Amino acid sequence: MKNFNGKILFLDRSDINTDEIIPAKYLTELTKEALRPYCLEDLALPGFEPRRDVADKAVIVTRANFGCGSSREHAPWVLECNGINLVIAENFARIFRQNMFNCGCMAVSLAPATIDEIFTVFAATGAECVTDLERMTFTISNGKESRVYPFTVGSFDLELVKAGGWVDYADRKY
Amino acid sequence: MGKTLAQKIFDAHRVDTPAPGVAVLSLDRVFCHEITTPIALNDLVAKGKDRVFDPSRIKAVIDHVTPAKDSKTAEQGKTLRDWARRHGIADFFDIGENGVCHAIFPEKGFVRPGFTVIMGDSHTCTHGAFGAFAAGVGTTDLEVGILKGVCSMRDPETIKINVTGKLRPGVFAKDVILAIIKKLTVNGATDKVIEFAGPVVDGFDMDSRMTLCNMAIEAGGTCGVCYPDMTTVEYLWPFIREEFTDKAAALAEYSKWRPDEDAEYVAVIDFNVDDLEPQVTHGYKPDQVKNVSEMTGTPVNQVYIGSCTNGRLGDLRIAAGVLKGHRIHPNVRGIVSPATPKIYSQALEEGLIKIFMDAGFCVTNPTCGACLGMSNGVLAKGEVCASTTNRNFNGRMGRGGMVHLMSPATAAATAIAGVITNSPLFHK
């Protein structure tokens, strides 16, 4: 199972699309690892510098409709090969969300008010997230403040996370 | 309680319910192209699972970068080509026979009412125009589709949109769908199927229905669907004539793929088009839409006519009709990419290609290239493109470029004027 703990990258915008996460010109790469330097390269967000801000992060917290647009699984892959296996948002584009769980990563929705609170309390404070899959909680803390947020992930999605992906699961079962 | 069209298709294809609200569906079609498929194929080989569930239900095309532009894209094409040959995939379309996936697969009659279709491409929703459930998926879902012929989907909720009224001259399916996306927003149909219904959709030909369904994903929709009717039967008739005694029999069979009268929807929206003007996007999201009249005078560097949204014969006819007898503005680079070889050939026979060339357009081979900034018309920083494609995302057609989405009629008129403008086909 993958790691879902670590420093948070806060992306304070809705509708961040797949072309911003990984531009199409890199879709000619034949390995996932080759995508690594280009994570969020075209993200339109004032003050954001991709390489500086992505380095050492393990979790993304963002607003609504993250991953909209293309079906490219290169979007979860480029996050994954930068050590980001968990995205927390108000909601996700369907294909992106499914791609995350298919890779054994997690895309978890929290209520807009909760996301808002996390931004207000923890953005730009060097906050970290610790995920407890048994209790289904995120503990977000920054040294001064620590808060626990319950979440829900469907049983099928959880099975994929525990199995490490959909290919082996499906080949065994169908 | 009655069922929506998608629920009926799910019921007929469900092979498992691994958790409440999740369906594993059997697949009638798995479509493949050279960008998202090769990594799936390499992974299957690495896992010792280099198999396909049914070569006759898998169709493949090289369309995103063709001819190959460099060693990497050549390798992607080769991976797909070698695999198709290795597994006896008869319907594989390579250079000379290849076209934009969501144009060539319908044109070959591969999609039928009631089918389930997946592809590693978000605009797979286009095929819902035939009354099929067709959804874009990632490489892992595609890999399992190739291997086992199944895919998991959440049980679908459906939004029904009744498109009513009468379109003014010069207002087309592209304008209707842009206006609908503006109303829904880019997150408004996330995880939902959109049924496009009502007299305006009933009156649309299949090309226009595909334009509508193609952009369902831009509102977040899983699939856009239209109800099968005699227009659908007429389009498919050359491919199905052996299966049915006559067209009425085909219509009777396909009519089971219509929703029940008392189907349950999460929303039913009446969308009247009486006053609809030609539409155009501004900004970097497909729901940022204005009337063309509000954007008139915006200079453009390039005009692109093509893609899975608007590269079909009907689109080329409309654009050529506007261009005939005119030259495009000297500051504009005009590019037209007929979406398939058949469309290209018919456009030649009808004299449309000559009109485009006489107007100063570059006519390229069928390819997706420019739409996503991969080849054949990438923008430089600060450049603006008037485009008949489906996405205006930041950097979509090239880093630092701006894309304005519009209909082929508006694009052609814009090419002549050098600035965004309504076509002379439009009358209030």
Average pLDDT along chain B, 428 residues, taken 10 residues at a time: 96 96 97 96 94 98 97 97 98 98 98 98 98 98 97 96 98 98 98 98 98 98 98 98 98 98 98 98 98 98 98 98 98 98 98 98 97 96 98 95 98 98 94
Q: What is the pLDDT of residue A174?
A: 86
Q: How far is CA A168 from the centre of its chain?
A: 22
Q: Tell me which DSSP letter residue B299 carries.
A: B
Q: What is the pLDDT of residue B1?
A: 84
Q: What is the pLDDT of residue A171?
A: 80
Mean per-residue pLDDT, A59-81:
97
Residue B153 structure tokens: 């989907």
Domain ranges of chain B: 5-154, 157-272, 281-417
CATH number of B5-154: 3.30.499.10
Mean per-residue pLDDT, A142-169:
92
Give CA–CA dist B388/B404, Å, rounded: 8
Q: Which residues of chain B are within 8 Å of residue A42 when distances are taken between CB atoms?
A: 394-395, 399
Contact status of B82 with chain A (Cβ, < 8 Å):
no
Residue A10 lies in a domain: yes
Measured CA to CA in angstroms, residue B283 lies from B27, B184, B394 at distances of 37, 17, 8
pLDDT tops 80 at residue A168: no
Identify the CATH homologous superfamily for domain B157-272.
Aconitase, Domain 2 (3.40.1060.10)
ipTM surpasses 0.90:
yes
Give CA–CA dist B18/A169, Å, rounded: 11
Beta bridge partners of B96: none
Cβ under 8 Å to A: B residues 196-215: none
Q: In the β-sheet with B267-272, what is the strand arrangement from edge to edge?
A: B223-226, B192-197, B157-164, B267-272
Hey, are the CB atoms on B75 and A17 less than 8 Å from each other? no
Closest chain A C-alpha to B140 CA, distance in angstroms: 6
Q: What is the pLDDT of residue A172?
A: 80
Hey, are the CB atoms on A156 and B47 less than 8 Å from each other? no
Q: The domain spanning residue A155 has which CATH number?
A: 3.20.19.10
Nearest to A99 by CA among A166, A34, A32: A166
Residue with tokens 């967000």: A45
Residue A156 lies in a domain: yes
| Tally of domains in chain A | 1
Measured CA to CA in angstroms, residue B394 lies from A127, A162, B106, B177, B294 at distances of 29, 35, 30, 21, 21
Q: What is the pLDDT of residue A164?
A: 81
Residues in chain B, how many? Answer: 428
**What is the pTM (predicted TM-score) of this model?**
0.97
Which residue on chain A is closest to B368 by alpha carbon?
A24
Mean per-residue pLDDT, A49-57:
96
DSSP track, B58-115: EEEE--SS-S--SHHHHHHHHHHHHHHHHTT-S-EE-TTT---HHHHHHHTT---TT-
Contact status of B187 with chain A (Cβ, < 8 Å):
yes
Residue A15 lies in a domain: yes
Nearest to B385 by CA among B262, B62, A112, B393: B393
Contact status of A80 with chain B (Cβ, < 8 Å):
no
Hey, are the CB atoms on A94 and B190 less than 8 Å from each other? yes
Query: Which helix (H) or strand (E) covers residue B334, if one does?
Result: strand B333-337
Architecture of domain B281-417: 2-Layer Sandwich (3.30)
Q: What is the pLDDT of residue B60?
A: 98
Q: What is the pLDDT of residue A170?
A: 84
Cβ pairs A/B, distance under 8 A = 147
Domain that holds residue A135: 6-173
Mean per-residue pLDDT, A51-63:
97
User: Exposed/middle/buried for A113, CB within 10 Å: 0-12, 13-18, 19+?
Assistant: exposed
Same fold yes or no, B157-272 and B281-417: no
Closest chain A C-alpha to B122 CA, distance in angstroms: 5
Q: Decide: A3 and A53 in contact? Cβ < 8 Å.
A: no
Q: What is the pLDDT of residue B91?
A: 98
* 3-class SS of residue A130: strand
Residue A1 lies in a domain: no
As a dihedral over the C-alpha atoms of residue B28, residue B33, residue B34, residue B35, rounded to 10 degrees, the angle is: -110
* 3-class SS of residue B281: strand
Which residue on chain B is closest to A90 by alpha carbon?
B187
Cβ under 8 Å to B: A residues 15-44: 15, 17, 19-20, 23-25, 27-32, 42, 44
Q: What is the pLDDT of residue A167?
A: 84
Q: Which residues of chain B are within 8 Å of residue A93 when distances are taken between CB atoms?
A: 190, 220
Q: Which of A33, A95, A100, A101 to mutate to test the interface with B (most CBs of B within 10 A)?
A: A95
